[in-house]
Structure formats: structure tokens, C-alpha cells
Structure 1
Amino acid sequence: MNEALCSILSGEDEWYYHEEGRHIKFNKDGTGELWCRCNFNYWILAVIEWKSVKPPHGPSQIVEFPGQVSNTAWNKGPQLLGQLDLEITLTKRLPKLAETSVLAQGTGINERSLTDDAFQPRLFTVRIEKGNFVVPASTVSSDWRYELRLLFDKSPYPPRSQWKNPEHGPDDSQFWDIVEFVSRHVPDLEKQGKPMNLTSSEGWNGCVVS
């Protein structure tokens, strides 16, 4: 099961919270990328290292997922493909795309905004679901539709305590609350009704990415 789920996890180009700047990627070789952009500011452009690990909790323990919504909200809820326990380490290395880019010159990228604690290994439990989804940052049903959803038990972005100056930008968007990502764009899903993860814009926490 773990091999099959890891294959799904690493078989997509990116998992998006927003298509224009906030996403995570898992490569088959155990590396990946974490990007965090808000407006014109890049906060995280980093290579990650990841691996599937033995569950730290007992098999009977229920793991809560902040981004999960009860299936009773729709006539047909998402299909659970499985659950994984991952160890993810944020590194200070830039993705190849950013190494020779003007993006690397940002004054607040990676260790310039994050404390050393942010670069220590962290444990996560994730769920992979199949259904009809829009990017979590969306508030409209007309956006592109995606077939897969990835839910974290806590955000892969560093918690507020690991930002050097969270009041100077990150507090506005609270990246540490982001736990939901989608992948595998399927145009035909737009014909199949309301997205399964579309919520009201009331209280929506996010910045406009330009």
C-alpha cells in the first residue's frame, strides 16, 4: 500500500494550494520542492527531502485533518485512496529553476526569514483522496478542476514560531494554516457539478497572488 501511495504522491508535477505560487512537489528520488509566494514576495523556494515512515501512532488512533470536510456535505464525497506517514525535511537549497533566477535574490527567502528550527525533520500524516476539487485558495466553482487531493494533519509550511519576523508579511496570510493541496488537472470534471472542497469565501484566509 505504501509503495502505491508513494507512487501517486510522487507521480504528479505539483500539488497546489494556489497555482501561482504556493505548492509542494514530491520526486521519486526522495527529494521535492516547497514554494511559497504571496503577491510579489517569495518566502520559501526550497528543496525538501521526504520519505515514508512507520506510523508514530497506534493503528487504532484517529488522526484529525484540519482540511477535511465531512462526506455528508455532498451527495457523493471524495474517495479515500489511503493514508501515509511522512518525514519531511525543509532544506536551504534552492530548486534548480530558482538557482539562476532573479527569484534567488529575494531578501526574505528561506533562511533569511526562517529560524534554524524550520530546517529540522518533521513528521506528518497525509491522506490522498480522489474526487472533484478546485485549488483550496479558490472561492469560485469555475476554476480548473483537479482529481486528487492531499490533506496534511498539519501544514508543511513552518509554524509561526519558526519565522523570524512573522508580523512583517506572513501573519497576513498565515501560511502555517495551509493543509490542503490538489493535483492532476482533469477538464471533464468541470461538467460534474460542484467541487467537493469549495467553501464559502467568508473568513477565507489568503492573499491575492499577482
Structure 2
Amino acid sequence: MPESRDTKATVLSVLCDPELWSWDERPFSSISFSRDGTGTLRAGAELSVFIAVEIEWKLKTSGALDASVDLGHKAKDSSVAQQLSVFDVEITLTRRVHPLLKDHFQDGDLVNEKALTEAAFLPKTFHARLERGRFAEPALSLTKEQPFRGPKYQFRLAFDKSPFPPRKEWMEEGRFAAEQCRFWDCREFVAGEVGKDGFMSALVQKAKGSLANITGS
């Protein structure tokens, strides 16, 4: 008899258990949350990294992450997002370097406090929404020629404004690169990759639609 697996979780575990919440597929830009109130923030493109810091975060909405979530239960229509929680969270960028990238930089690299003003390191409060469903990586929304790629993540974390510093909080030296990437437009992140299933499901649905149009004509 196979061993039964407990699929019960809380909204807190949905937020904190993923290693990363990603803006893009690589991921070059990402955020993470740990249960001890710390986490990480990374902003980059290709081989360049401009922000790689530890963060500190504090929930401002009491009890907002306490609700139970049954991860074993599949919604009848996964294309409709299920809202798990809406909450306010305070996030502070620290001057501690991202633990996985500590050995990545040299003294002259334009990163963290060399790229950001003092204001970027002040605490800021964000209104956040945590959802479950099927989602593509948010970076695709800025791609002019979007490839056909089905949704492949089961969780989405959306902020009212980006956790990356706004344009005015970048030093002059780092502002050109930031403007090319527009990190301040990154307000949504995804986690919980579901492999090829999302792509194949979307492909099947597209094929069914095409077939229906042919037979109906």
C-alpha cells in the first residue's frame, strides 16, 4: 500500500518554501522569503547583476498567512486564479550581500550600494496578493514577439509596486542599465514550476480549438 502524503500547508509555507520567486525563467531577477524574516533580492540581466542583497521582511497584516491550503486538491479550472491571501508586508533592503552571490563580485562592480541611493535601503510597505493557478513567467509580458509557451507555474505573487527600487533611487552610474531593464516594472513573480505539463496542456487546448474551427466551418 503506497504511503499517503500530507498535502496540507499554510499560506506562509506557500510564500516561504519556494527557493525563489522569479520574474523571468532564468531567473535573473528574483525575490525570496524565509520564515525568520529574512530573504533575498536579485536584479540582473544576462551576465550582469546590479542588486544582490539580503532583505528583511515583516508582515503588517496580522494572520494573513495563517490559512490552510490543500496542495493536493486541484481546481476544476486551473486557468482561473485562486486568491490565497492579500496582505501588507514591509521589506527592507540590507547591505548584506546575497549569500549565494558573495563570491561573484569584485571591488569595482556596480552593484548594491554602488548602484543605489541611500533611499533604496529604507523600509517600504507593499500591498501583496498571493494566488494559485497556472501562470507563465511575468517577463513574457514585456516580450514584443511572445513565443507560444503555456503556463508552467502554480503560484503567483503580485505587488502593488515593485520590490526593486524605483528609478529615482538608482545612482547616476547605474541608472542607464536600470532603465534598459526597467526593474521597477517587475511587480509579479512566480514559483512552483510544474514541468512540461503546463506547456502540453496549452498545446492540446490550442490544437482542440483549431480542430473545432475546422470541423465547424
- 1:7, distance to aligned residue in structure 2 (A): 2.3
Q: What is the match of residue 40 of structure 1?
A: 47
* Separation (CA, whole Å) in 2 of partners of 1:11 and 1:51: 16
Higher relative contact order (CA 8 A, sep 6+): 1
> How many residues were matched structurally?
173
Q: Is the aligned partner of 1:134 residue 2:136?
A: yes
Q: What is the match of residue 177 of structure 1?
A: 185
Structure 2 gap segments, 5+ residues each? 1-8, 63-76, 141-145, 204-217
Structure 1 gap segments, 5+ residues each? 56-73, 195-210
Q: Residue 79 and residue 141 in structure 1: after superposition, are their counterparts in 2 closer, same or farther (change >3 A)? A: farther
* Separation (CA, whole Å) in 1 of partners of 2:154 and 2:108: 34
Q: Percent of counterpart pairs with the same letter?
A: 35
Is the Cα contact below 8 Å between 1:117 and 1:162 reproduced in 2?
Answer: yes
RMSD: 2.3
Q: What is the match of residue 205 of structure 1?
A: none
* Separation (CA, whole Å) in 2 of partners of 1:109 and 1:182: 24
Query: What are the superposed Cα offsets for residues 175-199 of structure 1, whole Å, 9 maximum, x if unpaired?
Result: 11110100001122333327xxxxx
Is the Cα contact below 8 Å between 1:90 and 1:119 reproduced in 2?
Answer: yes
- 1:105, distance to aligned residue in structure 2 (A): 4.5
Q: What is the match of residue 11 of structure 2?
A: 5
* Separation (CA, whole Å) in 2 of partners of 1:39 and 1:80: 33
Say which structure is richer in helix: 2
* Separation (CA, whole Å) in 1 of partners of 2:80 and 2:58: 29
**TM-score normalized by structure 2?**
0.73
- 1:118, distance to aligned residue in structure 2 (A): 0.4
Q: Deviating runs (4+, > 6 A) in structure 1?
A: none
Give the alignment partner of residue 114 of structure 2, picking from 112, 115, 119.
Answer: 112
What amino acid maps onto 1:185 in structure 2?
E
Larger Rg: 2
Give the alignment partner of residue 87 of structure 1, picking from 86, 90, 95.
Answer: 90
* Separation (CA, whole Å) in 2 of partners of 1:121 and 1:167: 21
